[in-house]
Structure 1
Amino acid sequence: MNEKELNLSLRDIEYLIVGQGLAGTMLAFELHRRGKDFVVVDSPSGEKASRIAAGIINPVVFRRLTKSWLVDDLFPVLKETYRELEKLLSCQLLHPLKIDKILGKEEGSFWLTKSIENNLESYIHSEPDTTFHKDGIEAPYGIGKVFNAFRADLPLLIDRFREFLIQENRFIGEKLDTNDIIRETGKVQWKNITAQKIIFCQGFRASDNPFFQSVKFKHTKGQVLDLEIPGLNITDMVNKGMFVLPLGENRFRAGATYRWEFPDTIPDHEATAELTEKMDKIVKVPYSITGKRAGIRPTTHDRRPVLGLHPDTPEIGIFNGLGSKGAMLAPYFAREFAHFLCGESDTIHPEVNLLRYYRKK
């Protein structure tokens, strides 16, 4: 891509966003919607979990069959946000999705009971489908159907939004070194840019950020497989301890693994073996692995995002920790953070507020 150079003659802006993964993209969009003056800086070679993620938006936690955290609040915002982005970027980003959860021998009654107890009727069919049959899928005890789910095309979102930023003269393709930041009361300076606020959206690399060493990150490595399965004719995603997502033209994506200890972001044989073992219990037709990809999900100790301004240096902020549910969480919390940054609100949800890591014991 030929990137238009940003005019770096001494420029005063309101916000400098560091990182253009999912968090940085969504926050930049919210600031754009408000007509704010901002610039995004991102390393062209930076690794992003958003490029690996399947972008699945599932409103249900299968293990306990409960609603996903805040889902009733998240869904209206995410639908509106992705649709607005689609108009801005002239592409489809949000795809309706149905999920077939393969049930075990005793799970049918559990599904029926919990779907009613936990008020899931807006997202799933309460009655399990015990007549379910698809050639190539092993589901002897039927399936539970999630009918209100989505897939967000995160790589397309990031690529198209970067093009938009370049056109708007708001993008710098460069790695930012925190040692180059000059802090002054009420502003920060990086090279020839002076900003009222600098917001770090660095994904797992936030662990190395000297301004946020108090944040308890607990990142997870995840691996997915790209598959070709000519004999599997399904249009809905299948789930049983993993997902098998149809992408059209015999292409599928399957995943994902979770590793809390890892040396690198390279796909590994152990994760591949774990996924293929689970695949073989679900898919009963031949398949071939066409690709393996791995990434590190930015995750905190309590599995909640982290956002806010540093209590000692409020010119510096963070938006991170979206984890495996980033496609669902990012629109809502980017909007909430933008409300806060722009003075439209003076509060941040306590479960995601950065200050939870700085409270006095």
Structure 2
Amino acid sequence: MVDYIIVGFGIAGVSVTEELERRGKTYLVYEDSSQKASRVAAGVCNPVVLKRFTMAWRGGELMDGAISFYKGIEERLSQSFVDELPVLRRFNSVEEENLWYEAADRPVLREFLSENILKNKNEGIGAPFYLGKVHKTHKVALSQLLSSYMAYMKAKNSLIEEPFVHDDIEILDNGVVYKGVKARHLIFSEGYGMVQNPYFNQLPLVGNKGEYVIIKSETLRLKEAIKAAFFIVPLGNDLYKIGATYDHQDKSKETTEAARDKILKKMKEVLRCEYTIVSQESGIRPTVRDRRPLVGTHDTYKVLHLLNGLGTRGVLMGPFLAKQLLNSIEKGETLEAEYNINRFA
């Protein structure tokens, strides 16, 4: 008997699991590593949409809580996953520089966008115009965090590494039974795998495929992330992650030559250094048509719940949404309409 069964362990899954830990709840996690989006994500925690110089959905509100949440996981596991990482926006024109000044003067963006634009001093980067700096941004080493948390759960017998079979769920009035384990509640956090979930697959989860290229360059020497056509994120040891692409049509798990060529073609405009390609990664992000998360409880089976649709900013939104979902389950609090799944009822 446990309080919760959790299905899926990406950003949504670890957000729910850690929140349960903090509340002293027991749980059992099922994870088959079929969904890669969280593991390949760059992990940049940034509240600003740098394409348009606008605030992401609840970006400023969620930022401090997200960083505090991941630092709490560092303390639990006695490991380091979170680092401050400034983000520099490479301008393409004088017009963009002027738009940056206007955005930095808005109250909602003032604490994040520097009012002083910078001249590029890195010879490995081509930047004919200036750079804008975003404050308070961080990088979360997601793959390392997820692997370490899985080891922690495995040591306490709270992790089952096998595919979850939806047809084997027995739903009771006061809980569920799955393969001999009874739980008061079951939370699905399956990412794009939700399209195979018979209880929630009617929701408009679209999904888009993102691919990254990992390069090695001993002369680039970036200490910040650069946002140009794609992000360039330093990983340490002269390694850099570049991406990601967006493809709404291809739902395959394999990397593609077309995505690699697209990334490298765009990077020719930015990189002025020698580099070698080390690897390529891909994952399908769980995105929703209205660009809002999917959080809530099944309209018929009140012991089945969902946290999904975190899209491209899951690292920022996951901790907040996990807390809201558990407050709705444990305390009866009403979920806000803009992310509650009943908006699609």
Asked if TM exceeds 0.5, the reply is: yes
Matched, 1:90 2:78: yes
Q: Write the distance in 1 (CA, Å) between the matches of 2:201 and 2:283.
A: 22
Counterpart residue number, 1:27: 16
Contact 1:229/1:250 (CA < 8 Å) preserved in 2? yes
CA contact (8 A) 1:227 1:251 kept: yes
Q: Distance in 1 between matches of 2:259 and 2:17?
A: 34
Amino acid at match of 1:23: A
1:109 maps to what in 2? 98
Where does structure 1 lack aligned partners over 5 or more consecutive residues? 1-11
Cα deviation digits, residues 175-223 of structure 1 (max 9, x gap):
1110111112222111111111111111111011010132101101000
Which amino acid in the other structure matches residue 33 of structure 1? R
**Equivalences for residues 148-163 of structure 1 within 5 A:** 148-163=136-151
Report percent identity of matched pairs.
Answer: 29
State the match for 1:9 in structure 2: none
Find the counterpart in structure 2 of residue 119 from structure 1. 108
TM-score, normalised to structure 1, is: 0.92
Amino acid at match of 1:354: I
Q: In the aligned structure 1, how far is the partner of 2:303 from the partner of 2:327?
A: 16
Report what 1:189 is aligned to. 177
Counterpart residue type for residue 81 of structure 1: F
Matching residue of 2:285:
297
Deviation at 1:118, TM superposition (A): 5.0
> How many angstroms apart in 2 are the aligned matches of 1:279 and 1:64?
20
Q: RMSD in angstroms over aligned alpha carbons?
A: 1.3
Secondary structure of 1:20's counterpart equals: coil
27, 52, 56: which one aligns with 1:38: 27
Partners of 2:36 and 2:282 within 8 A in 1: no
Aligned to 1:99: 87
How far residue 109 of structure 1 moved from its aligned partner, in angstroms, is 1.0
Matched residues in 2 for 1:260 and 1:271: separation? Answer: 13
The answer (yes or no) to whether the contact 1:67–1:118 under 8 Å persists in 2 is: no
Q: Is the 8 A contact 1:242 1:255 kept in 2?
A: yes
Provide, for residues 116-154 of structure 1, a one-character-per-residue CA deviation record: whole Å limited to 9, x for no partner. 13532211202222x322102111111111122111111
What are the Cα deviations for residues 33-85 of structure 1, in whole angstroms up to 9, with x where unaligned?
11112111112x42321111010111211222111211222112112211110
Q: Which amino acid aligns with 1:18?
A: V
SS in 2 for 1:282: coil
Equivalent residues in 2 for 1:327-338 (5 A)? 327-338=315-326
Matched, 1:61 2:52: no
* CA contact 1:59–1:148 (8 Å) conserved in 2: no
Partners of 1:83 and 1:57 in 2: CA distance? 13
- Give the whole-Å Cα distance in 2 for the aligned partners of 1:263 and 1:122: 38
Once the two structures are TM-superposed, the CA of residue 95 in structure 1 deviates from its matched residue by 1.0
The whole-number CA distance in structure 1 between the counterparts of 2:239 and 2:158 is 36
DSSP-derived class of the 2:143 partner = helix
Following TM superposition, where does structure 1 have runs of at least 4 consecutive aligned residues deviating by more than 3 angstroms?
A: none
Question: Do structure 1's residue 322 and structure 2's residue 310 form an aligned pair?
Answer: yes
CA contact (8 A) 2:104 2:115 kept: yes
Task: Name which of structure 1's ranges 116-125 and 217-226 shifts more when overlaid on structure 2.
Answer: 116-125
C-alpha separation in 2, matches of 1:31 and 1:89: 15
SS in structure 1 opposite 2:176?
A: strand
Query: Which whole-Å CA distance do the structure 1 matches of 2:317 and 2:271 have between them?
Result: 31
DSSP 3-state at the match of 1:224: strand
Query: What is the aligned counterpart of 1:199 among 164, 170, 187?
Result: 187
* Aligned counterparts of 1:118 and 1:264: Cα–Cα separation in 2: 42
Which residue number corresponds to residue 3 of structure 1? none
**Length-normalised TM-score, structure 2:** 0.96
Q: Which residue of 2 aligns with 1:354?
A: 341
| 3-state secondary structure, aligned to 2:296 | strand
The residue number in structure 2 matching 1:128 is: 117
* CA–CA separation in structure 2 for the residues paired with 1:205 and 1:263: 11
Deviation at 1:263, TM superposition (A): 4.3
CA distance in 2, matches of 1:213, 1:107: 41
